[in-house]
Amino acid sequence: MHDSIATITLPGGLHVPTIGLGTWMMGEHKRHMPAEIDAVRHALDLGMTLIDTAEMYADGASETVVGKALKDRRGEAFVVSKVVPWNASFNGTIEACDRSLQRLGTDYLDLYLLHWRGEHPLDDTVAALETLKASGKIRSWGVSNFDTEDMEELFSVPDGKNCAVNQVLYNLSRRGIEYDLLPWCQERHIPIMAYSPIEQGRLLEHPELIHIAKAYQATPAQVALAFLLERDSVIPIPKTVNLNRLRENRDAVDLDITDEDLDRLDAAFPPPSRKVPLEML
Protein backbone atom coordinates (compact mmCIF):
# COMPACT_ATOMS: atom_id res chain seq x y z
CA MET A 1 0.00 0.00 0.00
CA HIS A 2 1.36 3.42 -0.97
CA ASP A 3 1.43 6.48 1.24
CA SER A 4 -0.75 9.12 -0.34
CA ILE A 5 1.09 12.05 -1.88
CA ALA A 6 1.47 14.90 0.62
CA THR A 7 0.33 18.36 -0.37
CA ILE A 8 1.93 21.78 -0.12
CA THR A 9 -0.08 24.93 0.48
CA LEU A 10 0.73 27.80 -1.84
CA PRO A 11 0.63 31.42 -0.67
CA GLY A 12 -3.04 32.23 -1.27
CA GLY A 13 -4.20 28.89 0.13
CA LEU A 14 -4.34 26.49 -2.85
CA HIS A 15 -3.05 22.95 -2.23
CA VAL A 16 -0.84 21.06 -4.66
CA PRO A 17 0.72 17.60 -4.50
CA THR A 18 4.46 17.58 -3.77
CA ILE A 19 5.18 15.96 -7.15
CA GLY A 20 3.66 16.71 -10.54
CA LEU A 21 3.99 15.86 -14.21
CA GLY A 22 5.92 17.93 -16.78
CA THR A 23 4.79 18.00 -20.43
CA TRP A 24 7.65 19.63 -22.33
CA MET A 25 8.08 17.75 -25.64
CA MET A 26 4.53 16.44 -25.53
CA GLY A 27 2.43 17.44 -28.54
CA GLU A 28 5.43 17.52 -30.90
CA HIS A 29 4.22 14.57 -33.01
CA LYS A 30 0.59 13.68 -33.74
CA ARG A 31 1.30 9.96 -33.62
CA HIS A 32 2.58 10.22 -30.01
CA MET A 33 -0.45 12.12 -28.77
CA PRO A 34 -2.59 9.12 -27.69
CA ALA A 35 0.24 7.86 -25.45
CA GLU A 36 0.80 11.36 -24.08
CA ILE A 37 -2.89 11.78 -23.29
CA ASP A 38 -2.79 8.40 -21.58
CA ALA A 39 0.22 9.45 -19.50
CA VAL A 40 -1.50 12.62 -18.28
CA ARG A 41 -4.62 10.64 -17.32
CA HIS A 42 -2.50 8.02 -15.59
CA ALA A 43 -0.75 10.76 -13.63
CA LEU A 44 -4.17 11.81 -12.31
CA ASP A 45 -4.90 8.19 -11.34
CA LEU A 46 -1.64 8.15 -9.37
CA GLY A 47 -2.40 11.41 -7.56
CA MET A 48 0.18 13.42 -9.54
CA THR A 49 -2.55 15.90 -10.30
CA LEU A 50 -0.28 18.90 -10.86
CA ILE A 51 0.19 19.10 -14.63
CA ASP A 52 2.75 21.59 -15.93
CA THR A 53 2.50 22.93 -19.47
CA ALA A 54 3.23 26.18 -21.36
CA GLU A 55 2.10 28.05 -24.45
CA MET A 56 5.66 27.60 -25.75
CA TYR A 57 5.72 23.80 -25.63
CA ALA A 58 5.20 22.43 -29.14
CA ASP A 59 3.71 25.81 -30.08
CA GLY A 60 0.68 25.18 -27.92
CA ALA A 61 0.22 21.52 -28.82
CA SER A 62 1.34 20.42 -25.33
CA GLU A 63 -1.61 22.40 -23.94
CA THR A 64 -3.85 20.69 -26.50
CA VAL A 65 -2.66 17.27 -25.27
CA VAL A 66 -3.35 18.26 -21.65
CA GLY A 67 -6.78 19.62 -22.66
CA LYS A 68 -7.72 16.34 -24.36
CA ALA A 69 -6.52 14.35 -21.34
CA LEU A 70 -8.56 16.46 -18.94
CA LYS A 71 -11.71 16.60 -21.11
CA ASP A 72 -13.89 14.80 -18.56
CA ARG A 73 -11.54 15.20 -15.57
CA ARG A 74 -10.75 18.92 -15.34
CA GLY A 75 -11.76 19.11 -11.69
CA GLU A 76 -9.16 16.53 -10.67
CA ALA A 77 -6.20 18.48 -12.01
CA PHE A 78 -4.13 21.46 -10.93
CA VAL A 79 -3.17 22.96 -14.29
CA VAL A 80 -0.09 25.16 -14.61
CA SER A 81 0.67 27.06 -17.81
CA LYS A 82 3.06 29.85 -18.74
CA VAL A 83 3.15 33.00 -20.82
CA VAL A 84 6.30 33.58 -22.91
CA PRO A 85 8.10 36.84 -22.07
CA TRP A 86 7.48 38.46 -25.45
CA ASN A 87 3.73 38.11 -24.85
CA ALA A 88 3.94 39.42 -21.28
CA SER A 89 2.77 42.99 -21.80
CA PHE A 90 -0.50 43.87 -20.01
CA ASN A 91 -2.76 43.09 -22.99
CA GLY A 92 -0.47 40.39 -24.35
CA THR A 93 -0.65 38.40 -21.10
CA ILE A 94 -4.43 38.51 -21.08
CA GLU A 95 -4.65 37.46 -24.73
CA ALA A 96 -2.06 34.68 -24.27
CA CYS A 97 -4.03 33.35 -21.31
CA ASP A 98 -7.23 33.28 -23.39
CA ARG A 99 -5.46 31.27 -26.10
CA SER A 100 -4.08 28.85 -23.51
CA LEU A 101 -7.54 28.40 -21.98
CA GLN A 102 -8.94 27.64 -25.43
CA ARG A 103 -6.28 25.03 -26.19
CA LEU A 104 -6.72 23.50 -22.73
CA GLY A 105 -10.50 23.45 -23.13
CA THR A 106 -11.04 25.01 -19.74
CA ASP A 107 -12.19 28.34 -18.38
CA TYR A 108 -9.51 28.65 -15.69
CA LEU A 109 -5.89 27.88 -14.97
CA ASP A 110 -4.90 26.93 -11.44
CA LEU A 111 -1.53 28.64 -11.77
CA TYR A 112 -0.15 30.91 -14.51
CA LEU A 113 3.57 31.66 -14.67
CA LEU A 114 5.74 34.21 -16.44
CA HIS A 115 8.05 31.73 -18.23
CA TRP A 116 11.16 33.89 -17.83
CA ARG A 117 11.99 37.60 -17.68
CA GLY A 118 11.83 39.60 -20.88
CA GLU A 119 11.49 43.14 -22.14
CA HIS A 120 8.10 43.96 -20.63
CA PRO A 121 8.10 45.75 -17.25
CA LEU A 122 7.23 43.45 -14.36
CA ASP A 123 4.58 45.92 -13.15
CA ASP A 124 2.59 45.43 -16.38
CA THR A 125 2.81 41.66 -16.28
CA VAL A 126 1.85 41.52 -12.60
CA ALA A 127 -1.06 43.91 -13.19
CA ALA A 128 -2.31 41.61 -15.98
CA LEU A 129 -1.91 38.51 -13.80
CA GLU A 130 -3.86 40.21 -11.00
CA THR A 131 -6.57 41.19 -13.52
CA LEU A 132 -6.79 37.57 -14.71
CA LYS A 133 -7.06 36.43 -11.10
CA ALA A 134 -9.82 38.92 -10.34
CA SER A 135 -11.78 37.74 -13.39
CA GLY A 136 -11.46 34.07 -12.36
CA LYS A 137 -9.43 33.03 -15.41
CA ILE A 138 -6.51 32.06 -13.18
CA ARG A 139 -6.58 31.04 -9.53
CA SER A 140 -2.99 32.05 -8.76
CA TRP A 141 0.14 33.25 -10.52
CA GLY A 142 3.88 32.90 -10.20
CA VAL A 143 7.15 33.18 -12.06
CA SER A 144 9.78 30.94 -13.58
CA ASN A 145 13.55 31.25 -13.97
CA PHE A 146 13.68 34.14 -11.49
CA ASP A 147 16.95 34.46 -9.55
CA THR A 148 17.11 36.09 -6.11
CA GLU A 149 17.57 39.61 -7.51
CA ASP A 150 14.59 39.11 -9.83
CA MET A 151 12.48 37.98 -6.86
CA GLU A 152 13.53 41.05 -4.91
CA GLU A 153 12.52 43.27 -7.81
CA LEU A 154 9.24 41.39 -8.15
CA PHE A 155 8.53 41.99 -4.47
CA SER A 156 9.06 45.72 -5.00
CA VAL A 157 6.29 46.10 -7.64
CA PRO A 158 2.61 46.52 -6.70
CA ASP A 159 1.08 43.12 -5.82
CA GLY A 160 4.41 41.41 -6.60
CA LYS A 161 4.25 39.71 -3.20
CA ASN A 162 1.23 37.72 -4.41
CA CYS A 163 3.61 35.43 -6.30
CA ALA A 164 2.68 31.82 -5.46
CA VAL A 165 5.61 29.86 -6.93
CA ASN A 166 9.01 30.19 -8.59
CA GLN A 167 9.69 27.39 -11.10
CA VAL A 168 13.43 26.87 -11.67
CA LEU A 169 16.01 24.34 -12.79
CA TYR A 170 16.87 22.28 -9.72
CA ASN A 171 18.31 18.81 -9.43
CA LEU A 172 21.31 17.05 -7.88
CA SER A 173 23.66 18.35 -10.58
CA ARG A 174 22.23 21.93 -10.38
CA ARG A 175 22.24 22.85 -6.72
CA GLY A 176 23.16 26.53 -7.06
CA ILE A 177 19.79 27.74 -5.72
CA GLU A 178 20.54 26.18 -2.33
CA TYR A 179 22.97 29.03 -1.64
CA ASP A 180 20.48 31.90 -1.74
CA LEU A 181 17.35 31.54 -3.87
CA LEU A 182 15.93 28.47 -2.13
CA PRO A 183 16.31 29.91 1.42
CA TRP A 184 14.99 33.29 0.17
CA CYS A 185 11.84 31.62 -1.16
CA GLN A 186 11.46 29.29 1.84
CA GLU A 187 11.60 32.24 4.26
CA ARG A 188 8.72 33.79 2.34
CA HIS A 189 6.82 30.49 1.99
CA ILE A 190 7.07 30.53 -1.80
CA PRO A 191 7.46 26.94 -3.03
CA ILE A 192 10.08 26.11 -5.63
CA MET A 193 8.82 24.02 -8.53
CA ALA A 194 11.88 22.00 -9.61
CA TYR A 195 12.03 21.57 -13.37
CA SER A 196 14.23 19.02 -15.15
CA PRO A 197 14.48 17.21 -11.78
CA ILE A 198 16.38 14.29 -13.33
CA GLU A 199 18.36 16.59 -15.65
CA GLN A 200 16.37 15.26 -18.63
CA GLY A 201 17.70 11.79 -17.91
CA ARG A 202 21.39 12.75 -17.93
CA LEU A 203 21.72 12.25 -14.16
CA LEU A 204 20.73 8.62 -14.28
CA GLU A 205 24.11 7.25 -15.37
CA HIS A 206 25.94 8.71 -12.37
CA PRO A 207 27.76 5.84 -10.59
CA GLU A 208 27.08 7.10 -7.04
CA LEU A 209 23.38 7.55 -7.78
CA ILE A 210 23.24 4.03 -9.21
CA HIS A 211 25.11 2.70 -6.16
CA ILE A 212 22.81 4.40 -3.62
CA ALA A 213 19.67 3.41 -5.55
CA LYS A 214 20.66 -0.27 -5.45
CA ALA A 215 20.78 -0.23 -1.65
CA TYR A 216 17.10 0.83 -1.58
CA GLN A 217 16.08 -1.44 -4.44
CA ALA A 218 15.11 1.81 -6.07
CA THR A 219 16.09 3.43 -9.36
CA PRO A 220 18.48 6.38 -9.83
CA ALA A 221 15.50 8.52 -10.91
CA GLN A 222 13.72 7.73 -7.64
CA VAL A 223 16.75 8.72 -5.56
CA ALA A 224 17.16 11.94 -7.56
CA LEU A 225 13.48 12.79 -6.97
CA ALA A 226 13.57 11.72 -3.30
CA PHE A 227 16.52 14.09 -2.77
CA LEU A 228 14.27 16.98 -3.90
CA LEU A 229 11.24 15.71 -2.00
CA GLU A 230 13.31 15.74 1.23
CA ARG A 231 13.45 19.52 1.00
CA ASP A 232 10.90 21.87 2.44
CA SER A 233 8.47 23.27 -0.18
CA VAL A 234 10.15 21.82 -3.28
CA ILE A 235 7.86 20.31 -5.94
CA PRO A 236 9.60 18.24 -8.65
CA ILE A 237 7.74 17.97 -11.97
CA PRO A 238 9.40 15.11 -13.90
CA LYS A 239 8.15 14.54 -17.43
CA THR A 240 7.51 11.08 -18.82
CA VAL A 241 5.11 9.46 -21.26
CA ASN A 242 6.13 5.99 -20.16
CA LEU A 243 3.60 4.52 -17.70
CA ASN A 244 6.17 2.39 -15.86
CA ARG A 245 8.41 5.40 -15.36
CA LEU A 246 5.43 7.44 -14.27
CA ARG A 247 4.70 4.91 -11.49
CA GLU A 248 8.38 4.82 -10.66
CA ASN A 249 8.49 8.61 -10.33
CA ARG A 250 5.35 8.66 -8.21
CA ASP A 251 6.81 6.02 -5.87
CA ALA A 252 9.79 8.28 -5.15
CA VAL A 253 7.42 9.92 -2.65
CA ASP A 254 7.62 6.77 -0.49
CA LEU A 255 11.42 6.63 -0.50
CA ASP A 256 13.20 7.90 2.64
CA ILE A 257 16.89 8.53 2.15
CA THR A 258 19.01 8.15 5.31
CA ASP A 259 21.16 11.05 6.52
CA GLU A 260 24.19 8.93 5.72
CA ASP A 261 23.12 8.57 2.10
CA LEU A 262 22.24 12.25 1.88
CA ASP A 263 25.87 12.89 2.97
CA ARG A 264 27.02 10.57 0.17
CA LEU A 265 24.92 12.53 -2.30
CA ASP A 266 26.48 15.77 -0.99
CA ALA A 267 29.93 14.30 -1.61
CA ALA A 268 29.04 13.23 -5.15
CA PHE A 269 27.01 16.38 -5.98
CA PRO A 270 28.47 19.13 -3.76
CA PRO A 271 26.13 21.92 -2.61
CA PRO A 272 27.23 25.45 -3.57
CA SER A 273 29.67 27.31 -1.33
CA ARG A 274 29.04 30.67 -3.03
CA LYS A 275 26.51 32.40 -5.26
CA VAL A 276 25.92 30.60 -8.56
CA PRO A 277 23.85 32.55 -11.11
CA LEU A 278 20.59 30.73 -11.82
CA GLU A 279 20.93 28.32 -14.73
CA MET A 280 18.20 27.72 -17.30
CA LEU A 281 17.43 24.94 -19.76
Ligand X SMILES: NC(=O)c1ccc[n+]([C@@H]2O[C@H](COP(=O)([O-])OP(=O)(O)OC[C@H]3O[C@@H](n4cnc5c(N)ncnc54)[C@H](OP(=O)(O)O)[C@@H]3O)[C@@H](O)[C@H]2O)c1
Contact pattern for ligand X over residues 125 through 144, marking x by CB under 6 A: -------------------x
Judged by CB under 6 A, the chain residues 205 through 224 that form the site for ligand X are: 221
Nearer to ligand X, 106 or 171 (CB): 171
Query: Is residue 248 a contact residue for ligand X (CB under 6 A)?
Result: yes
* SS3 assignment, position 114: strand
CB of 166 to ligand X, least distance (A): 10
Q: Is 93 left (phi over 0), alpha (psi -120 to 50) or beta?
A: alpha
Instruction: Give which of 255, 253, 243 is closest to 45, Cα–Cα.
Output: 243
For strands 7-9 and 15-17, give the pairing.
antiparallel
**Annotated catalytic, 112?**
no
CB of 203 to ligand X, least distance (A): 8
**Near ligand X by CB under 6 A, which window of 7-15, 93-101, 176-184, 237-245?**
237-245
The span from the CA of 34 to the CA of 30, in Å, is: 8
The span from the CA of 19 to the CA of 7, in Å, is: 9
Query: Is residue 197 a contact residue for ligand X (CB under 6 A)?
Result: yes
Query: Is residue 18 a contact residue for ligand X (CB under 6 A)?
Result: no
Is the Cα torsion angle 87, 93, 94, 98 positive or negative in sign?
Answer: positive
Nearer to ligand X, 31 or 158 (CB): 31
79 φ, ψ to 5°? Answer: -95, 125
Nearer to ligand X, 89 or 145 (CB): 145
CB of 133 to ligand X, least distance (A): 20
What Rg, from alpha-carbon coordinates, does the chain have?
Answer: 18
Give the number of other CB atoms < 10 A from CB of residue 256: 9
Query: Is residue 196 a contact residue for ligand X (CB under 6 A)?
Result: yes
Q: Give the catalytic positions in this structure.
A: 57
Interacting residue ranges for ligand X, rule: CB under 6 A: 22-24, 52, 115, 144-145, 167, 195-201, 204, 221, 237-242, 245, 248-249, 281
